[in-house]
Amino acid sequence: MVDFSTLKAIQEKLHEAGFKLTTQRQAVVSVILEKEKDHLSAEEIFLYVRKKDSGIGLATVYRTLEILTDLHIVDRVSFTDDGVALYDLRKAGAKHFHHHLVCENCGSVEEIEEDLLLDVEKLVEKEFQFLVRDHRLTFQGLCKNCH
């Protein structure tokens, strides 16, 4: 599995797929790497990117995020009912997408790296002859500060 925790790894992945890491794309990737723990919307990424490169447009940010999503460098997630897409970096060497704990009170999002669903995947593959490639798991509730 590719490690996407560095700019170089992401650059290689882009090159493999025939994309260049232009200065503008690099600005977007840098923001995602710097804010790895956050889950940012395209607009929020745009605001950070503007601080690095004031000439960059929102359309370029969207296009870059599209490419990064297609290449599975980032994933789109959504934790709210309005369905605003947030962008989340795939973790180094992660075979599955990490799980999320979303607090309904303060809105904090915590990540769980270990895969809690290995047994469930085996069961699904056996019972439904469904080849599982990935899964999403989000727990809604109250974080330790809120309950």
Does residue 131 bind Zn ion (CB under 5 A)? no
Report, in Å, the least distance between residue 142 CB and Zn ion: 6
* C-alpha span between 20 and 63 (Å, rounded): 13
Name the DSSP letter for residue 136. -
Q: Does 146 bind Zn ion (CB under 5 A)?
A: yes
Q: Which residue type occupies 111?
A: E
Note whether 118 binds Zn ion by CB under 5 A.
Answer: no
Residue entry with tokens 């990424």: 45
Distance CA 139, CA 100 (A): 6
Asked if 106 interacts with Zn ion (CB under 5 A), we say yes
Rounded to an integer, what distance in angstroms lies between the CA atom of residue 10 and that of residue 106? 33
56 HSE (CA, 13 A, CB side): 23
Figure out which of the listed residues 29, 88, 96, 99 binds Zn ion, where binding follows CB under 5 A. Answer: 88
If binding is defined by CB under 5 A, does position 140 make contact with Zn ion? no
108 or 140: CB nearest Zn ion: 108
Q: Which among 42-50, 58-66, 100-108, 117-125 is the span making contact with Zn ion, rule CB under 5 A?
A: 100-108
Detail the residues annotated as belonging to a binding site for Fe cation.
135
